Structure 1
Amino acid sequence: MHPISPLRLPTSGRGKTRPPALAQSAVRIAVCLALAGLPGMALAAPEASANGAQSGGADSATDLDAVLVVAQRASRVSNGATNLDLAIKETPQSISVVSQEQMQQFGTDSLNDALRLATGIQVEEWETNRTNFTARGFDIANTQIDGVGLPNGWGIVTGAQDTFGYEKLEVIRGANGLLTGVGNAAGTINYVRKRPTNDAQGSAGISYGSWGTVRGEVDYSTPLTADGTWAGRVVAAHEEGDSYLRGKDDTRDFIYGVVDGQIGENGTLTLGYSWQEGKTDGNMWGALGFMYSDGTQAEWDRGASTTQDWTYWDTTTRTAFVEYTHQLGADWLLKLSYNRRDVRNDEKLFYATDLAGTGMDPETGLGLYGYPWGGHDKLTADLLSAALNGHFQMFGRDQEMMLGVAWSKSENNSSQYAAMCGEAACSYIPMPAFPWPGDHVEEPVWGESSVYSILDERLKRAYGATRLSFTDKLKAVVGFNYAEYHREGVNYGVAFNQTESQTSPYAGLTFDFTSNLLGYVSYSDIYQPQSQSDADGRYLDPTKGKNYEIGVKADWLDKRLLTTLAVFKAEQNGLATGAGYNEIGQFYYTGVDVESKGVELEATGKLTDHIDMVFGYTALKLTGQDGDDTYRWVPRRTANLLLSARLPRYTALSFGLGGRWQSDISNVESNGFTVRQDSYAVFNGFVGWDFLPNATLRFNVNNVGNEKYINTLRYSGYYGAPRNYALSLNWRF
């Protein structure tokens, strides 16, 4: 079962405590006023349009080129892969994009569901409230927002993160240390925030689905001044419902506001803030056990859960950012940014484990023990960055360069409550035959909290990249990254103080064989600090290595369809890998050398004017200390498909089908037996009807074939959701 000791919660980027009632009320009042007042502000839009200041189309954007911020909105693109102005086809790396339209069509309101739409990404939900995203066999431990961001520590994402505040998700597969300063061979997720638009526009939606799940959402953007140089946007969502898992229910609230505008003739300023509160009752800590003591594998109902009725996990995430860009002449742009993140957790949990290490008795179902635990933690992170982008002439050609510096810090404090079970301190409790009821173990009497882990991290960076055009066909991207990483603190009484620096090069070549066919090669160093500890409780040294990729990108069907074929190889040395339990019962890790190599194929775009498609396939081989059996919980073959279409003669009717397939996986339980999950495929579909020009009714079905499967075998796992439905109504204004 779950190898993370119940006394050792991972300490990377989590958090939640409820904000004071006054703060909650202030936020709600502000949003209500904004939603009520912004439409009134939009009354100036007709006059602004007459002045050429309101813009949504190409004509008005052209008329407003002299107005810096409006032109920037009209042409805004994300450049999260290299921070250079490169199209996906011209970037010497594999990149997938999950668009806002795809998220809406397939009803993926959480980050976990949305990333299942991306090629090559595995969503490893090994607990109900903790998830790892993996690519090419490794954890994605780096995340960005609008091209800047902090490493995500252990790579664990806590709770269901709402996607309604994002315009799109970019998944950059392969090492990307050039931008993050740290990087592994998996890749980077870049979240592209919604920004104000040039014209007044908005939408509102409601939905109802299986297990009484209801959701409401509002998104409104409008110019704030008559000339359109200042604009604002407010996004809000609320979702709540029960679950197919016994005793589990969730509530999630999300608010995001952003304002941008022009400062002087050459400057633009953007300010944004978001707040999300997620509450889960009846969550699992760890998950199900699947092995009997005779080596046979158990099978349970899909709703089986190890939880007790009093458990909960609440998470609150606050983010704020400020960006200032300044145009330095015609060819150079300076961007200054500050990002703040505050994440807080409050949890009361119940852990189930095979304490004896022999598995459950196949006759009686006995053999599991339960352990209650409570705690809270707080993470704060700050990032300052400055980047200079521009163009210059060399070899008689236009060239592009980016230079930047960044400084970040994060502080993470984790505490646990003293707990009394009856008249004694809580310990492992013998449990009845599984599955057991949710009221078998009474909630402990919780005492004072005490700090068990303090982690302070600092990262200083200097980086640069240039795109050099040698000929019309041959181009290069060359970059470097210098990073100095420092952390100090205490972990279960073990003090640590570590500082390490690394300079990493990045290089890529592209060659246009024809106007439709491009070939590329790329190389990047790997440098990733690790949050896992060894048998003595000390954090492991950073993992280092090299990443290689060669591929071809081709346009088809009059450039409506883009295909990418990539061959990759990654070597990671000293990568944290689970090794067992130490003398005090904590699960520990050791650094091992792991190699991943394989091939990826993706096709994305339009097959016809009315049919959109995404198809992806990944095949990989992982070798390490166990030979080819390294990380057997990682599927060696995966495929994904998204098809969406409109009827040519009645375009108001849309429909689509999405699916994911993976090969078989396995893992070794603590009793030495192997638990297995055969290959499987899960399909989702939708039908939409634009019954008015500005209104859409959509019906979604998930797991159309009602496939029963264990969602992961990484640490522990539970069954994926059975067939479920949702009906939604969206109105645009």
Structure 2
Amino acid sequence: MAHRYAARPLLALAISMASGIAPLYLQAAETTQAQTYRFDIPGQSLDGALAAFSAVTRIQVLVSGELTQGVTSPGVRGNLGQREALGLLLGGTGLNAAFINADTVTLEKPVASGGALEVGATTISAERLGATTEGTGSYTTGAVTLGKGEQKLKDIPQSVSVMTRKQMDDQNTTKLSEVVKRTPGLTATKSPGPGMFIFSRGFEIGTLQYDGVGIPRNTYTLGSYLTENMAIYDRVETLRGPAALLQGANSPGGTMNLVRKRGQQAPTVTITAKAGSWDHYGTQVDVGGPMNAEGTLRGRFVADYDTTNSFVDYAGGWNQTVYAAVDYDFTADTTVGVGISNQKGHSRPNFMSLPRYADGSDIGLPRSTFVGASWNRNVNNQTQVFADLEHRFNDDWKVKAALVAMDEHNDATYQATWDTIPNGGGSVRYIDWVTDFNTKSRGADVYVDGKFDGLGFQQEMILGANYSKLTTDDLWARAATPGADIFNIDHNRPQRDKYQLFRDGWGSKSWYDVRQKGIYGTWRVKLLDPLTLIVGARTSWYDFSYIGQSGIKGTYGAPEASTTQTNGKVTPYTGLVYELNEQWSAYASYADAFEPQTNQTTSHAILKPIEGKNYELGIKGELADGRLNTSFAIFRYDQENRAAQDLQGPMNCNGWYCSVASGKVRSQGFEATLSGEVLPGLQLNSSYTYNTTKFLKDDDYEGKIFSTWTPKHLLKVWGDYQLPGDWQKFSVGAGVTAQSSTEAYDRTFSVPGNALWDSRVAYKINQEFTVAANLNNMFDKKYYIPAYNANWGSNYYGDPRNVMFTMTYTPQF
């Protein structure tokens, strides 16, 4: 029996190349609003599943009985487009779908080439992309979830981008630091330890979201190194600009939402093996799919192991990650998910790296120089547990609650050098360290999201609450020894434990307890057919406590405590989105942010919080039926009430000047982004950011650069092209990351800019095997990475030219 429904035609594209780093304008020939359906089709015979699909969509499916005889379908559930749902229904069947017209589709065996649309886990659906990026083959997404619920990029009046699973795989992106380096507008600054700090528009991103739940990372403690392995994540969503509405205090730079992989509707197995420069080897097993016949229980398991040496002598290590997750549909409308991950790492690190001459000039040592000892050691152990529940009341209303718990332990023993090299040459000191950092983070978030019509307006409302808690138990000890020759490092000096180092030098113990809770809400109302108003606010309660105890020569001094509280702090947010047409929108937004301070005034009162105000104007486009997103934004962020020394007051704050809330800084600039399919077979992610930061009011630095790590010019481009016709089994990729010079952390010299070129070639042997080679830093550029660059140390060379070979096996079921 034929079922008919007017399905949307495919979009015809006319591409206009504009001057600049990439095309920023594509005109769609025809488009209509995407239609989604509610599917609840359990795993069953393919004939039965197709009949249920036709009943929902009114699409007629024509197929020979010989092709479907004895074939089963994994089923499909959720709010999906026609083609996306059909692709899931056909998962593992080996059949292709071809639409004859708007309401008729035929099924056939795969062909080597032709007009049939191949559906399944590794192709882009002709319907609009959803939030999940795995299996889409795309460098963009149809929606993001960091703002609660699902929203299109062009409907958000702030700068948002996504690093998809496809792009991570193509660029062999395995670490969070590599994601940051390849994300528009972000800077990864190497910390004194093995991790990094993340900066956006001159301000730190100190709180990260895990599946939408925010927990503090790197804001208060030395132990949160942000060394996450990306093997367990589907995508990383990034918001640039204040994120106080979502996370409360200490979110001036924005946020990143790391979204985990989940069990798929169809059985999927991927086995990956890698081998590359500096004896770099890796293996990964990724298994997922239904765990019962109905498909209501789905699981995911990932195991990843990586071992490598380094271009730096003696340095190297291994990392192991294990992840398991289960989702269960209690009903068609209620889903519960739980999971756990553990990441362990062990390395011989090269911490603090190279110093410079007193005049700021480079000492010219080779990139292989190791300043540590043979006993240098760093150990990381991070365990995460998460759980979430989502209930869909109907197609318009849902509630979601989620929990995240993270325990992280980092300890290290290492040698480095300390001091500036005299201009005429001379010795410096060895500095031996022992660190023992322990961090526990907890987060919870619950919200209700609903759409409704009222007073003649289309409206959407989100109401929620969240809570986070961070506690730390940190210890370090260090001792300096004179007589180090930077040109002839002794790698076999005797090792001292933490007790010996404290006896001979300095030591510190500290404990943080930082808790935050808040209630938040946003309201979207379509005032006119093309104009949408978004207003929101968050009320935050923030409680900070710090106890520290420092000592010298084996004796600790009295404990020092610092506390601050902020109660009922309201941070408003507002935005306007004007739909120029169905592909383009213009927007304006305003957002507040705040950062509590612990500095004291002359009356020993705590300074009021730093307050920030962000203004942003932009235009966004969602083109090619959602397969391409582009944006252009200009922004200004002013931050005031920063602590400054009260030079007119008495020195009665621990024997030094007290503070006044008078400092002010400004960050401003513009950025352009383009991500997705710009031409048939060509996926591209490109961005250019122009950003200046300046002290507007400060006792010491007024008029100078505020964020020494933020380059004025930042260009990031990567593209991958699948060749057409007889060469379609080949794909080639290339890209560049370039930035202008920055100021050193100690402001004594300039860190030169650089341009790093990477490339890739891949060959799909058959439906199950793919081989690829990535060549990084193709022209072997010698450069220093962003770090705490100073004359006394922390000058790290970036990776020289290197190669990674990858083989991927994906058995077909």
Q: TM-score, normalised by structure 2?
A: 0.76
Output the CA distance in 2 between the equivalents of 1:126 and 1:289: 16
1:574-653 matches, cutoff 5 A: 574=641, 592-624=663-695, 625=698, 626=701, 627-649=703-725, 650-653=727-730
Output the CA distance in 2 between the equivalents of 1:376 and 1:346: 4
Cα deviation per residue 1:449-485 (whole Å; 9 max; x = unaligned)?
9971111111111011121111220002211111101
Match of 2:749 among 672, 675, 684: 675
Output the CA distance in 2 between the equivalents of 1:288 and 1:539: 39
Cα deviation per residue 1:670-719 (whole Å; 9 max; x = unaligned)?
xxx72222221001111000011121100011100100111125443211
Give the partner amino acid of 1:692.
Answer: N
* Structure 1 residue 542 displacement after superposition: 4.4
* Structure 1 residue 267 displacement after superposition: 1.7
2:803 matches 1:725 = yes
Return 5+ residue gaps in structure 1 as ranges: 1-42, 66-73, 418-425
Match of 1:499 among 537, 559, 565: 565
Cα deviation per residue 1:364-415 (whole Å; 9 max; x = unaligned)?
342x212212131211122222211111212424311111112222211112
Which residue is equivalent to 2:784? 710
Cα deviation per residue 1:590-616 (whole Å; 9 max; x = unaligned)?
984211010111112222111111221
1:267-666 matches, cutoff 5 A: 267-284=334-351, 286-290=352-356, 292-294=357-359, 296-354=361-419, 359-366=420-427, 368-416=428-476, 427-447=479-499, 452-492=509-549, 493-501=559-567, 502-529=569-596, 542-556=609-623, 560-574=627-641, 592-624=663-695, 625=698, 626=701, 627-649=703-725, 650-666=727-743
Q: Is the 8 A contact 1:287 1:305 kept in 2?
A: yes
* Structure 1 residue 490 displacement after superposition: 0.6
**Root mean square deviation of aligned Cα:** 3.4
Q: Is the 8 A contact 1:364 1:433 kept in 2?
A: no
Equivalent position SS for 1:674: coil
Q: Is the 8 A contact 2:735 2:757 kept in 1?
A: yes
Match of 2:268 among 201, 207, 210: 201
Q: Is the 8 A contact 2:683 2:721 kept in 1?
A: yes
Q: Is the 8 A contact 1:509 1:521 kept in 2?
A: yes
Equivalent position SS for 1:89: helix
Q: Is the 8 A contact 1:54 1:60 kept in 2?
A: no
Q: Is the 8 A contact 1:387 1:402 kept in 2?
A: yes
Q: 1:206 to 1:310 in 2, by over 3 A?
A: same
Output the CA distance in 2 between the equivalents of 1:428 and 1:352: 9
Cα deviation per residue 1:50-89 (whole Å; 9 max; x = unaligned)?
6755349956947999xxxxxxxx9655643421432001
Equivalent position SS for 1:179: helix
Q: Is the 8 A contact 1:465 1:479 kept in 2?
A: yes
Output the CA distance in 2 between the equivalents of 1:242 and 1:304: 14
Output the CA distance in 2 between the equivalents of 1:641 and 1:60: 29
Q: Is the 8 A contact 1:249 1:282 kept in 2?
A: yes
Give the partner amino acid of 2:710.
Answer: V
* Structure 1 residue 142 displacement after superposition: 2.1
1:19-34 matches, cutoff 5 A: none
Query: Once superposed, which parts of structure 1, at least 4 consecutive aligned residues long, lie more than 6 Å away?
Result: 43-51, 62-65, 448-451, 530-535, 537-541, 576-579, 588-591
Equivalent position SS for 2:259: strand
Match of 1:80 among 145, 153, 160: 145
Q: 1:46 to 1:271 in 2, by over 3 A?
A: farther
* Structure 1 residue 557 displacement after superposition: 5.6
Q: Is the 8 A contact 1:336 1:387 kept in 2?
A: yes
Give the partner amino acid of 1:326.
Answer: H
Q: Is the 8 A contact 1:160 1:278 kept in 2?
A: no
Q: Is the 8 A contact 1:126 1:711 kept in 2?
A: no
Cα deviation per residue 1:388-443 (whole Å; 9 max; x = unaligned)?
111121242431111111222221111246xxxxxxxx732113321333525310
Which residue is equivalent to 1:32? none
Which residue is equivalent to 1:254? 321
Q: Is the 8 A contact 2:717 2:736 kept in 1?
A: yes
Equivalent position SS for 1:158: coil
Cα deviation per residue 1:644-668 (whole Å; 9 max; x = unaligned)?
1011122210110121110112226
Cα deviation per residue 1:614-666 (whole Å; 9 max; x = unaligned)?
22111112110321433334211111111110111222101101211101122
Q: 1:691 to 1:344 in 2, by over 3 A?
A: same
Which residue is equivalent to 2:182? 117
Cα deviation per residue 1:74-116 (whole Å; 9 max; x = unaligned)?
9655643421432001111111111111111111111111222
Q: 1:167 to 1:54 in 2, by over 3 A?
A: same
Equivalent position SS for 1:196: coil
Equivalent position SS for 2:744: strand
Output the CA distance in 2 between the equivalents of 1:590 and 1:707: 46
Give the partner amino acid of 2:323.
Answer: Y
Output the CA distance in 1 between the equivalents of 2:422 and 2:189: 28
Instruction: Compare relative contact order (CA 8 Å, sep 6+) and give the higher one, 1 or 2.
Output: 1
Q: 1:503 to 1:62 in 2, by over 3 A?
A: farther
* Structure 1 residue 310 displacement after superposition: 1.2
Q: Is the 8 A contact 2:744 2:751 kept in 1?
A: no
Q: Is the 8 A contact 1:482 1:503 kept in 2?
A: yes
Q: 1:63 to 1:351 in 2, by over 3 A?
A: closer
Which residue is equivalent to 1:104? 169
Match of 2:299 among 232, 235, 243: 232
Q: 1:370 to 1:543 in 2, by over 3 A?
A: farther
Q: Is the 8 A contact 1:370 1:428 kept in 2?
A: yes
Give the partner amino acid of 1:610.
Answer: G
